[in-house]
């Protein structure tokens, strides 16, 4: 193949990186400047022009989606398969290494990956078992503590509380948790990285093998690597390896999870001859979107400094919508998406980005009402649903009796008369004997510790699991799952659950069977059983199974998960003080800068058109909150932004001081009142109209009074005065 073809569609600077002689380098550049594109072309160049073996390539990306895309792009460039390369996330790659070398790190062959939900459950149980007060030692905090330490590469034995009782207790929890995981053959996400690091650290021969093999290591989104990931890379790459790292300090958004921007500087210090290349031309966004994003990020002080420019058109201004509340915000977004679709736009080109997963529900409802298909990445994933976890837990116990987390989940689901007391005895015995729950159960049954109903129930459970294993070993995976859903009693249990919810659960279980049927074992999972490969996929997968990859659906995700992606039409919602930036980060300059970077990431996902939305009142976690527009909005250049007005609008002063336009709302039929209208009540004082229901004489109106909170009033008696 003509090498020139691999340089097509690249600018001079990008070409220089792609065709550079083999050496270590850092590409430091802003959003949309082609970093990922350069990385993909570089891989193709190494294979095609430098004749490197695909086996010599290890590429790390941030999400499973990005990894899949990267492989596809390399293959498209080469015009052939890219077998033999390792492309994946740090976690995925660590997992692959551990499967190959489980023995060398002291793991059982059938170790299972524990997702963060299960991790929290396990911790809750442990804390309870240790009689710890969950106010002083919230399990969630223990989870943060443990994962944080693991990200730093620290085991309990490395920790010293120096007499601090609280810290000392967290160390004890960490210790007990780790013992429980080790007994049960469970490994959490942070542990994957830590063990992979220990694998290299403690096994020089294995390390040498991989150092020799992976001559070419390429890392995308480097600004978000944490200490243990960096340490792992450092071990893997000696001076003979070519390490190319690609990143943007302005897009470092995982500091809260241990990511270290300083790793960029560390890389330069550790690789003295490494060259730094900066790319400054943006190819993604319109000039307007770019200008606004540049202006926003310029407010951060801790920057390595770079300016992006584009040859592209100014494009449309950024639209700002002041929703009256979160429902109104969602309705607006959906309305715009409908227009986009009516003008023949694809739904998959629209992305709705939010700060927290909890914000998605209201938008989902609005999308459903409008019959617009959507797909959520991350967050409440398909595999996180209760019924799916139940079914998978059965599969996991059938696969490995050691799996305590799964055991706990199903021992009394469906209810079989194993009460808390019985379970308590079992847990204590397991702890005392230092064994798994299953082993202990078998022994206690032998020792006739349980009597009556409990004994029958427990024996029945043991028999059920053993029998199901026997009956399904020969079946293909999807038939196994189907069999287990039926014979475990889960199907009957969920069929008995009335209403929409029960129906949805049954549908989800059916969907699980479909998912296993469609599941294709990835190349790196070749040596695993189908079941282990699928269970791993379920634990590591970021919700990509939910809808068909090729379905035309609106894309929904947090700004964190949108990293590296791009969409023609982007909505960033909930841009309010208290939400974005969040309350806590508003008070801490370091965290505030990270929130601003997150906003920069969100905005720079947009190619053609960007909407920024906020709600003046928002019900979240059961509470109604009134928020001011985010300070980030005020940091945007006024000439780049216009406020949206709808036809049904009623004038009212907007809270967004700098823009003089008024905001949007629909007025209630014939009442003269509108959502968001300011009113006065003789007794309750001034307030804002929140909601309205019914008609004529029976209609009621909800007002949030400044001093008295929200009240529902009968409209005809309330004698509200418009302000």
Q: Is residue 504 a known part of a binding site?
A: no
Q: Which helix (H) or strand (E) holds 321?
A: strand 318-325
Specify the residue, 248 or 576, whose C-beta has the smaller distance to ligand ATP.
248
Q: Distance between CA atoms of 400 and 532, rounded to whole angstroms?
A: 10
Q: Distance between CA atoms of 639 and 420, rounded to whole angstroms?
A: 64
Specify the residue, 543 or 564, whose C-beta has the smaller distance to Mg ion.
564
Q: Is residue 293 a known part of a binding site?
A: no
Q: Is residue 32 a known part of a binding site?
A: yes
CB 394 within 8 A of CB 412: no
Active site residue 548: no
Q: Is 9 in the site for ligand ATP (CB under 6 A)?
A: yes
Specify the residue, 283 or 626, whose C-beta has the smaller distance to ligand ATP.
283
Residue nearest to ligand ATP (CB): 34
Specify the residue, 283 or 712, whose C-beta has the smaller distance to ligand ATP.
283
Q: Is residue 142 a known part of a binding site?
A: no
653 binds, among Mg ion, ligand ATP, none (CB under 5 to 8 A by kind): none
Q: Is 306 in the site for ligand ATP (CB under 6 A)?
A: no
Indicate if the alpha-carbon torsion angle 151, 154, 160, 165 is positive or negative.
positive
Helix, strand, coil abundance in the chain, percent, nearest 5: 50, 15, 35
Active site residue 248: no
Number of C-beta neighbours around residue 446 at 10 A: 8
x/- binding map, residues 545-564, to ligand ATP, per CB under 6 A? -------------------x
DSSP state of 663: -
- The size of the interface with ligand ATP (CB under 6 A), counted in residues, is 19
Surface-to-core class of residue 87, CB atoms within 10 Å of its CB (0-12 exposed, 13-18 middle, 19+ buried): buried
Q: Is 30 in the site for Mg ion (CB under 5 A)?
A: no
248 binds, among Mg ion, ligand ATP, none (CB under 5 to 8 A by kind): ligand ATP
Q: Is residue 35 a known part of a binding site?
A: yes
**What is residue 629's three-state secondary structure?**
strand
CB of 564 to Mg ion, least distance (A): 4
Q: Which of 6, 7, 26, 36 binds ligand ATP (CB under 6 A)?
A: 36
Number of C-beta neighbours around residue 656 at 10 A: 20
Q: Is 10 in the site for ligand ATP (CB under 6 A)?
A: yes
Q: Is 14 in the site for ligand ATP (CB under 6 A)?
A: yes
Specify the residue, 10 or 274, whose C-beta has the smaller distance to ligand ATP.
10
242 binds, among Mg ion, ligand ATP, none (CB under 5 to 8 A by kind): none
Which candidate, 545, 561, 526, places its Cα nearest to that of 392?
545
Q: Is 19 in the site for ligand ATP (CB under 6 A)?
A: no
C-alpha dist (Å) from residue 698 to 149, 186, 369, 676, 695: 60, 59, 26, 21, 6
Q: Distance between CA atoms of 642 and 211, rounded to whole angstroms?
A: 54
Specify the residue, 67 or 199, whose C-beta has the smaller distance to Mg ion.
67
Active site residue 558: no
Name, in order, each residue with C-beta under 8 angstroms of 146's C-beta and a sequence gap of 6 or more: 123, 170, 173, 174, 177, 190
Which candidate, 26, 194, 236, places its Cα nearest to that of 94?
194
Active site residue 36: yes
CB 144 within 8 A of CB 123: no
Specify the residue, 3 or 434, whose C-beta has the smaller distance to ligand ATP.
3
Q: Distance between CA atoms of 178 and 154, rounded to whole angstroms?
A: 12
C-alpha dist (Å) from residue 232 to 22, 158, 241, 254: 21, 18, 14, 18
Which of 151, 188, 221, 329 does the annotation list as catalytic?
221
Q: Is 564 in the site for Mg ion (CB under 5 A)?
A: yes
Q: Which of residues 236-255 bind ligand ATP (CB under 6 A)?
A: 248, 251
Q: Which range binds Mg ion by CB under 5 A, 20-28, 29-37, 446-454, 491-499?
A: 29-37
x/- binding map, residues 588-607, to ligand ATP, per CB under 6 A? ----------------x---
CB of 139 to Mg ion, least distance (A): 36
Active site residue 501: no
Which of 99, 605, 618, 631 does the annotation list as catalytic?
605
Q: Which range binds ligand ATP by CB under 6 A, 8-16, 323-331, 469-477, 506-514?
A: 8-16
Specify the residue, 251 or 440, whose C-beta has the smaller distance to ligand ATP.
251
CB 35 within 8 A of CB 218: no
**What is residue 630's three-state secondary structure?**
coil
Q: Which of residues 453-482 bind ligand ATP (CB under 6 A)?
A: none
Q: Which range binds ligand ATP by CB under 6 A, 33-41, 313-321, 518-526, 545-553?
A: 33-41
Specify the residue, 66 or 513, whose C-beta has the smaller distance to Mg ion.
66
Q: Which of 33, 36, 216, 399 binds Mg ion (CB under 5 A)?
A: 36
With b for 16 or more beta-carbon neighbours within 10 A and e for fewer, the 123-142 pattern comes to bbbbbeeeebeeeebebeeb
State the Cα angle at 384 between 378 and 388, rounded to 5°. 140
3-state secondary structure 89-101: EHHHHHHHHHHHC
Active site residue 587: no
10 binds, among ligand ATP, Mg ion, none (CB under 5 to 8 A by kind): ligand ATP
Q: Which range binds ligand ATP by CB under 6 A, 6-14, 208-216, 388-396, 413-421?
A: 6-14
Name, in order, each residue with C-beta under 8 angstroms of 656's C-beta and a sequence gap of 6 or more: 320, 322, 629, 633, 643, 663
CB 279 within 8 A of CB 38: yes
CB of 21 to Mg ion, least distance (A): 24
CB 701 within 8 A of CB 721: no
Chain contacts with ligand ATP (rule: CB under 6 A): 9-11, 14, 29, 31-37, 248, 251, 283-284, 564, 566, 604
* Binding-site entries for ATP: 29-36
* Catalytic site positions: 35-36, 220-221, 251, 605
Chain contacts with Mg ion (rule: CB under 5 A): 35-36, 564
* Binding-site entries: 29-36
């Amino acid at each position: 193949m003509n090498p020139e073809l691999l340089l097509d569609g690249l600018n001079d600077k990008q070409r220089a990186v792609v065709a550079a002689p083999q050496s270590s380098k850092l590409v430091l550049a802003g959003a949309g400047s082609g970093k990922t594109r350069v990385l993909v072309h570089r891989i193709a160049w190494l294979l095609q022009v430098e004749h490197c073996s695909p086996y010599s390539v290890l590429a790390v990306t941030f999400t499973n989606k990005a990894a899949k895309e990267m492989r596809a792009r390399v293959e498209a460039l080469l015009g052939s398969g890219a077998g033999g390369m390792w492309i994946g996330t740090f976690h995925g790659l660590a997992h692959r290494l551990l499967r190959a070398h489980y023995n060398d790190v002291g793991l059982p062959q059938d170790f299972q990956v524990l997702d963060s939900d299960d991790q929290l459950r396990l911790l809750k149980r442990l804390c309870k078992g240790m009689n710890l007060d969950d106010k002083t030692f919230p399990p969630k905090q223990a989870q943060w503590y443990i994962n944080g330490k693991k990200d730093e590469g620290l085991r309990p034995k490395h920790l010293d509380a120096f007499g601090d009782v609280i810290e000392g207790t967290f160390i004890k929890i960490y210790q007990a948790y780790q013992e429980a995981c080790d007994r049960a053959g469970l490994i959490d996400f942070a542990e994957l990285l830590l063990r992979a690091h220990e694998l290299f650290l403690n096994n020089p021969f294995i390390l040498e093998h991989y150092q020799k093999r992976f001559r070419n290591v390429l890392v995308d989104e480097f600004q978000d690597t944490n200490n243990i990931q960096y340490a792992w890379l450092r071990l893997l790459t000696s001076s003979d390896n070519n390490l190319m790292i690609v990143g943007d300090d302005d897009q470092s958004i995982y500091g809260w999870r241990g990511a270290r921007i300083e790793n960029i500087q560390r890389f330069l210090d550790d690789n003295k001859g490494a060259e730094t290349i900066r790319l400054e031309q943006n190819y993604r966004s319109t000039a307007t979107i770019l200008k606004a994003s540049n202006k926003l990020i310029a407010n951060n002080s801790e920057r390595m400094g770079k300016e992006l420019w584009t040859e592209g058109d100014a494009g449309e201004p950024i639209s700002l919508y002041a929703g009256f509340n979160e429902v109104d915000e969602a309705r607006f977004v959906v309305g715009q998406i409908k227009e986009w679709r009516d003008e023949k736009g694809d739904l998959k080109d629209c992305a709705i980005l939010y700060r927290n997963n909890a914000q998605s529900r209201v938008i989902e409802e609005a999308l459903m009402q409008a019959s617009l298909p959507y797909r959520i990445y991350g967050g409440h994933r398909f595999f996180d649903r209760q019924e799916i976890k139940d079914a998978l837990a059965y599969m996991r116990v059938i696969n490995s009796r050691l799996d305590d987390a799964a055991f706990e989940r199903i021992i009394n689901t469906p209810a079989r008369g194993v009460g808390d007391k019985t379970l308590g005895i079992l847990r204590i015995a397991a702890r005392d004997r230092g064994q798994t729950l299953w082993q202990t159960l078998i022994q206690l049954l032998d020792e006739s510790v349980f009597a009556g109903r409990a004994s029958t129930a427990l024996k029945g459970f043991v028999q059920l699991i053993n029998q199901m294993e026997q009956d399904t070993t020969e079946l293909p995976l999807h038939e196994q799952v189907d069999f287990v859903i039926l014979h475990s009693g889960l199907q009957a249990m969920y069929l008995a659950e009335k209403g929409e919810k029960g129906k949805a659960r049954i549908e989800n279980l059916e969907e699980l069977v479909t998912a296993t049927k469609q599941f294709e074992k990835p190349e790196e999972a070749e040596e695993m059983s189908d079941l282990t490969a699928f269970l791993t996929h379920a634990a590591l997968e970021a919700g990509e199974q939910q809808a068909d990859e090729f379905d035309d659906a609106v894309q929904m995700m947090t700004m964190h998960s949108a990293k590296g992606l791009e969409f023609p039409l982007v909505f960033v919602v909930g841009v309010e003080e208290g939400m974005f930036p969040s309350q806590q980060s508003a008070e801490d300059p370091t965290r505030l800068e990270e929130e601003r970077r997150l906003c920069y990431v969100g905005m720079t996902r947009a190619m053609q058109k960007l909407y920024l939305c906020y709600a003046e009142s928002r019900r979240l976690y059961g509470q109604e909150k009134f928020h001011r527009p985010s300070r980030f909005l005020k940091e945007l250049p006024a000439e780049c932004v216009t406020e949206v007005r709808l036809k049904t609008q009623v004038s009212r002063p907007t809270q967004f001081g700098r823009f003089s336009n008024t905001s949007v709302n629909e007025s209630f039929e014939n009442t003269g009142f509108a959502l968001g209208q300011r009113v006065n009540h003789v007794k309750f004082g001034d307030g804002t109209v929140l909601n309205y229901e019914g008609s004529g004489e029976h209609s009621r109106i909800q007002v949030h009074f400044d001093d008295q909170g929200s009240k529902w009033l009968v409209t005809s008696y309330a004698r509200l005065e418009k302000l």
